[in-house]
Structure formats: C-alpha cells, structure tokens
Structure 1
C-alpha cells in the first residue's frame, strides 16, 4: 500500500553525533547502552525512523552479535531504519588500496543493512574532508576533492564497482541510492543520470541531496533545474536547506544552514515534483549546526504537513516511474 502522510518513513540523520563516546572511546566499540542513549534522543524527538549514518556508527564493521545488539536496541526504542548511509568512502578514491577497501566496506555494509532490516543503502563518491575544509567554519566554504573529468577509465571503474554493490543489494532485496554531491560523478543531474543508466540496474537510483549543491560558494543552477532531470530515478532523499545570497559588488557568496521551510529550496514545490514522478522511498532529515536533531524534528513535521497536502487520493496514479 502507498504511504500516507502519517506513516511515511522519515528518519533522522545522525550527523550531529560524534563517532566517539562520552568516555573518549569509539562508539563502534561502546556498549549498547551508549547506542541507546543517542537513539533514545532520536526517539524522544518523535522520530520512528533513523538513518544509520556511518560517521556515528558503522554497521558494516559490526560483528554478527553486535548487529543483533543494535537491532535489539532499535526495536526497544521502536525505531525503524530509513536507510544506512555510507559517507566519504569513494570506490574510486585515487589511492587504489583505499578504493578497494572502500568497496569491500560498502559490500559489508549492504550485508549488515539487510541483517538489520533496512530497505536502502545510500552511498556516494565524495571523499574525506581536506585539512582546509576541516579548519573552515563550514566545510563547504573550501573546495573538496574532485573526480577527474573526462577520465573514461575512472568512470568505467565507478560503474563496475557500483554495479557490483547494486547487485549485492538486489540479492538482499535492498535498493542502492547514490547521493548527489559536488565535483563528483554525481555532482550534476546530467552526470548522475548517466551514471545510473550506465550501471543499468533497476534497484540503483539517486538521492537528490540538493542541499549539497546549493550551499556552495560559487555559481549554482536554480534548485529546480538540478532536481527535474533526476526525478525518475529518485529512490531515497536527504533533505536539508540553506540560506543563500550573492553580493554582485564584491562577488561574495553567503550560505548558512536553514530550516527546511526557510532556505532557498522551495520544498513545497520539490515535494510536489517528486511525488508526481512516483517517489515512494524513505526520507532523511539533515541539519548542520546548533541542535541539528531538534531542527530535523521540526523539518519532519513540516514534511508531514506537505505530504498531507500533496499526496494524491489513494486510488490515483502515483506516476510512471523511470523511463
């Protein structure tokens, strides 16, 4: 049955929670009670789903027994999984050893996601923050690593490796969603669509994380031009927003995080467009700075209001799907 506005799976990202425990150790090795403390905050904010963001905890690197502990913790808090998100682990990293390790990690994460009952694994081609990005007030103020333009060998390697991950995901009945991110082969709608088409698997689609693009301190296309070409391929969606301004006198750009309803992206229009295209996948609310979880909860409530206004009647068509 199609989702309703009330039961649409909307998960909280865990970007604002560090990968180290309050005691100074790794969250990865911490007792389940440490996991429960963080996930309990998510549940207390009214979420019934969570995006298991691997900057906080890496499900793919948990043993089978520890995955069972995580599953039990989630169940005790009545939290489902909107997706497992892999961050900054490119399968085409310029260092071949790192790229191969990232591929192995991504495959393990798909297996772990299946064990945990997730339906989507989200991954991308963005790489770790540079030293300049780590030192900046907001990391997007500085340029990051970029995929080589016009390098067909590297492109073919991306297709080959992401196809292998997509095949592993399909074996488990999962979807693989590729996150749009600047200066990667997923950095423009045209390149992102080409990549999905070259992979050629029905269970591999796109996560149109428009916030990754509109926050850049350089010229960017209007958000609707970034979204429209990818609409038939959307299978998961990170949503966040930014205030954006430009001073023509100095050439300076200004961007800071904004609540979903307050930034440059008109999510009332964006939700209408993705629904019209047939989108039925989970959604993840993200926010950088301040109380990211609290803002994400506010964004969730806003999304549910939009969904209530925009969803068609139950007997109406939900779209034609991808071409």
Structure 2
C-alpha cells in the first residue's frame, strides 16, 4: 500500500515543509498530499529552492502524490476567463511540484439542488478543464464530498457519465459517501474504474459526520471530539483495507486527520495501516 499524509492536517500548526518530509520518512509514509494553500506559499516564497527541495525529498523515496485545491465550477459564465486563468495557475503548480494529479470539488452546492443549467455548466467546465490538464500531463481528480455535485454515489456516477471524459479521476473519500448512505465497499466497487486516490478518516458515530464540514474543520476553535482513529470509529476500515490489499490497489491512500496532535495521531494511523502490508497478511489473501 502506498500511504500518504495530507499536509492539510497541519493547517493550524507551525510546521515547515522540511519537517513534514522528515516526519513522513521517519514514520514510513511514501508521500505527501499537498494542500494547495501550502503549495502556493512554497512556490511564492521559495521558488528558487523548490527544485532542490523536491530532489532531496525524492532521494528519500518520497513524492507529492497529489495537490488538493478548489475551483469555482459554478461561477457565473462571465467569470469564465478568470476561472481558466486560475486553472492554468494550478496546472503550473502541479508541474512545479512534480505531481500528475490535481484534486478539486465538483462545485459547492448539493447535487439534489442542481438545476439543469447549473449541472450542464459544471459538466462542460469539468470537460474543458480535464482536457487542458491532460495536455499539461496532469489528471483532474474530483473528490466525493458533501454539498457538491459528487456528494452521493448516484450523483458521482452521473457526473462521470455526463462529462464523458476518460481523463477524469475520482478521489474516493469513504467517509463522505458513507455519510450519504453508501457502504464503503459498495462505493469502491461502483467507482473502482475511475479511482486514482483515496481519503480515509473516521468518526465515532454517524451523527457526528458533520464534524468534517469546512466551517468546523477550518476553524481553529472548531469541535474535534468525535474525530476517531481509523481502527476505532463507525466505519469498518478493516474490511476496506482487506479488500484494497486483496485487489493490490496501486493508488495512494491519504490519511486525513483533522483533530489535535497531528504528528502523534498520523504516526499511529500509519502503524495501524502497516498491518495490511505485512507479508503474512498478503499470503493469507493469496491462499
């Protein structure tokens, strides 16, 4: 398994890029999923140093698995030039960090509220951006996420079907489709052909899934009680990782920890995930 940490887990911490690389190598991670905010800051302030930083990172067996950012796909049509300009900047960012994947959300409104014109606007823009990304050697990745046009399994499948672009990948966030009513393994089976990345996080009880709403997650004073370890929450991740290990998934699995003490918690999560990479467990699935 290719296990990555998400730099967004350190959104409220005073941590350097070098410290994250040191931590990732020491604790057995294979890569870092870079939050766009962090990437833009590094490119702005340390552009000349960046190639050397990335070469040193790669020499230690690590890389940037994906950049996660945001595009206003439902902006008014007269804002299209600004949207395309921003997308070009994000493609440059991905290339600067030597990653081939760029994650965005499919709008910022629930799929159930989508008018046909809004849906068509989102679909058309996704297709246009995916084409431009492919020309730049980057893959557009849509995340399954609440209050977007990929907030349920049916909406995600419809979006992929209507866009009709094979270049588009899916970042399957198990928790977010689970909170919409889809069991994790069903989401995996239905979306498997499009999946290029996974987000994993857990919650103590289903009614606490709202803890991951952006307004709470990004607030320094937001609620954190109820954010649970992968092994201890409401989602049965043991069954999920058994299946991924059995299928020899080649895609990165990125741990998102939004609670306190990210260094300690991410290290424990990585240790738990290491159980699925042990030879004896792999041998058990082969028999």
TM over 0.5: yes
1:283 paired with 2:253, answer: yes
Partner of 2:29: 47
1:153 partnered with 2:133: no
Within-5 A mapping of 1:127-142: 127=108
Q: Report the alpha carbon displacement of residue 260 of structure 1 after superposing the two structures with TM.
A: 1.4
Deviation at 1:302, TM superposition (A): 2.5
Task: Give the CA deviation at 1:209.
Answer: 0.4
Specify the SS of the correspondent of 2:257. coil
Deviation at 1:81, TM superposition (A): 0.8
> Which residue of structure 2 lines up, in the alignment, with residue 164 of structure 1?
128
Question: Which residue is 2:7 aligned to?
Answer: 14
User: How many residues are treated as equivalent by the alignment?
Assistant: 266
With over 3 angstroms needed to count, the CA separation of the structure-2 counterparts of 1:91 and 1:222, relative to structure 1, is same
Q: Deviations over 1:257-313 (max 9, x none)?
A: 111122222223223444666742222111111122432232233333224466589
Partner of 1:265: 235
Q: Is this contact kept in 1: 2:74–2:121, CA < 8 A?
A: yes
Q: Is the 8 A contact 1:261 1:267 kept in 2?
A: yes
Q: 2:67 aligns with which of 84, 89, 92?
A: 84
> TM-score scaled to structure 2, two decimals?
0.76
* Whole-angstrom CA distance in 1 between matches of 2:72 and 2:243: 30
Instruction: Report the Cα distance in structure 2 between the residues aligned to 1:255 and 1:270, rounded to whole angstroms.
Output: 24
Quote the residue 2:54 is aligned against: 74
Residue 36 in structure 1 maps to residue 27 in structure 2: no
Instruction: Sort the Cα spacing of 1:235 and 1:310 in 2 relative to 1 into closer, same or farther, 3 A.
Output: farther
1 or 2, which has the higher helix percentage? 2
| Residue pairs, 1:187-198, within 5 angstroms | 187-198=151-162
Partner of 1:223: 184
* Aligned counterpart for 1:117 among listed residues 90, 98, 102: 98
1:170-201 per-residue CA deviation (whole Å, 9 max, x = no partner) reads 22333222100012110011111221222222
Distance in 1, matches of 2:36 and 2:97, equals: 14
Query: Residue by residue, what CA displacement relative to the aligned partner does 1:126-178 show, whole Å, maximum 9, x if unpaired?
Result: 54xxxxxxxxxxxxxxxxx5356341221122122112222222223332221
Counterparts of 1:284 and 1:20, CA distance in 2:
19
Per the normalisation by structure 1, the TM-score is 0.69
**Offset at residue 234 of structure 1 (A):** 0.9
- Structure 2 CA distance for aligned equivalents of residues 118 and 175 of structure 1: 9
Specify the alignment match of 1:232 in structure 2.
193
Q: Hey, what does 1:139 align to over in structure 2?
A: none
Q: Note the aligned Cα RMSD (angstroms).
A: 3.5
> Structure 2 CA distance, aligned partners of 1:101 and 1:154?
18
Give the 3-state SS of the residue equivalent to 1:75 in structure 2.
helix
Shift of 1:103: 4.5
User: What runs of 5+ residues in structure 1 fail to find an aligned partner?
Assistant: 23-33, 128-144, 248-253, 317-323
Query: In 2, Cα distance between the equivalents of 1:101 and 1:197?
Result: 27
